[in-house]
Chain A
Amino acid sequence: MSLPYKIVVGLEVHVQLLTNTKLFCGCSTKFGSPPNSQVCPVCIGMPGTLPVMNRKAFDLALRAALALNCSIAEFTKWDRKNYYYPDLPKNYQISQYDLPFSYEGFLEINAAADPKKEYTPKRIGLFRAHLEEDAGKNTHDESGRGADSKVDLNRTGTPLLEIVSKPEINSPEEAKAYLEEIRLMLREIGVSDCEMQEGSLRCDANVNIHIEHEGGIAATPLVEVKNLNSITSVGRAIAYEAERQYKEFKKDPVNYRFGNMFKTTAGWNDVKGITVIQRHKENASDYRYFPEPDLVPVVVTPSEVQAAKMAMGELPSEQRKRLQSAPFNLTQYDSQVLTAKGRRMVTYYEEVTAVIGDGKQVINRMSDLVMGALNDRKEEIDQFPLSSQTFADFMKKTASITQQGRRDVFNHMLEKGTDAATSIKELGIQTDFDESKLLQAVLEAIAANGPAVEDYKKGKTAAANRIKGHVMKTAKGAPNDVVQRLLEAELAKLMGT
């Protein structure tokens, strides 16, 4: 797909950190509790209360920033972002303004045109990641009769990590890949569960386009699209908004330019599939930041950075590289697919490979059988009834039989809870074929299928399948390719007579 413009996107992602309690008080962060049941004087902004930073939240934020290849500031402080809105009881949000605890990082994503087939790495630069508190939740009267809006402050004060990318994302696909990589990585290192439907991963997209115009590059005004609550909607919103801006530009190429207009805000209507530009509010972005006097600064030591690195474990990007080297030797693509399934799947794969040896063969068998079964059964790998050792044993015992035979044994094992040997026996599948025995079966089948042989001789080559079917019945589970080869050779001999 070639567009008459270049899409330029920066993403602001908010993720909820996996803590038991809020950022500045001991209230629970549990999702889905009754309204206003998780609030206290600190998080509803009562006068005279003092916030105290949650150690775990800071540690998780530090771990995430390191995983995002950010530099860590030795000295960091918090600021008040002032605005008035019913979901914000203090009338300011505690955030970080000029001295965020981390800055200048990057995230590697798969920017291949077809990410289902190939892997093309691309680094997306990050401006910063900082630690702030969430606001509450408003519910509006949708009836149009102007009833009161309702406010639930359970979410107020929940710790959030805000990750701000540089405008280096150039397509809806790249935006989706970026979010998928962030989600995978933060889940793997235990920083966030990134459940978009529960609001623990939220995304705003700053979108504009660059157009070649009269020998130069024309950039359109920036639009910040909010309310994106699924990875799919992020992709759709960017594609829609870019096209909308292109139409605006064509209408007024002189004035519809970056720099001529303030940044505007748009909401995404997922049902209609459109962005809705909010009317411009003068000075809306004047948040009058100033240092938060109720919190003292944090100084991070090199040993704390080291400890956070240790707690991080292996990152998806490191894992992909490791899986591409011995003993696994996976392709870049296979390593990506496997890594995207999560650490427990990778461990399973590693355990099977330790027994089988051939990493490529293991990934093929797992893709053929295990991945599909997990999909059908709606299970995660750690609930899967066949352990890695059982699957490795299955692979060994079914090495010499047909794909169909293997599938039958696999399904039988899953259904009956048996091991490979038992299933092979119960299904009556023969697993040790020597070629002379197979040849015998082929000759018998030819002898028993006179009419099919006659048809074949007349040029109806499909008749060979009937003979082959006969062979497969007597030599259950025989390797397809060997039977095919023997049969073709014997039939060729008959043609000569």
Chain B
Amino acid sequence: MRVQMTVNGKAVSGEVAPETLLAQFLRENLRLTGTHIGCDTSQCGACVVLCGGKSVKSCTMLAAQAEGADITTIEGMESPGGELHPLQEAFRQNHGLQCGFCTPGMVMSAADLLRQNPSPSEEEIRHWLEGNICRCTGYHNIVKAVQAVAAAK
């Protein structure tokens, strides 16, 4: 079947099998490999993207369900001029990443949190990020990175 949607501001379309996941469509059809697959059971959060501004795990959503939707992936977070998004910059500066595999999902989740709640408490940040697993950092610097952006707003 044919799907059409907007990804990172660009209209895209592709031919996919009906059971194709949004994550697969992004990675395989569009070669946007910043969206990672860390599990097959929708727990790890490495695949989070924004769908109409709301964070979704792209491995829980069919490409067909995203028909007509406005999708933002990690590759769409930089400004058109190539400047890092404040969250990307904060993750870098606060060392909120080690192996980096969880980072895109963390950034996308955090972006949705800050959209809904521009100044979350530390507890709210931790609670929000419970759907994103990081095996490396112990979360300390990830939370710090999100706090840094919230404070700057």
A binds B: no
Q: Which residues of B contact A (CB under 8 A)?
A: none
Interface of A toward B, CB cutoff 8 Å: none
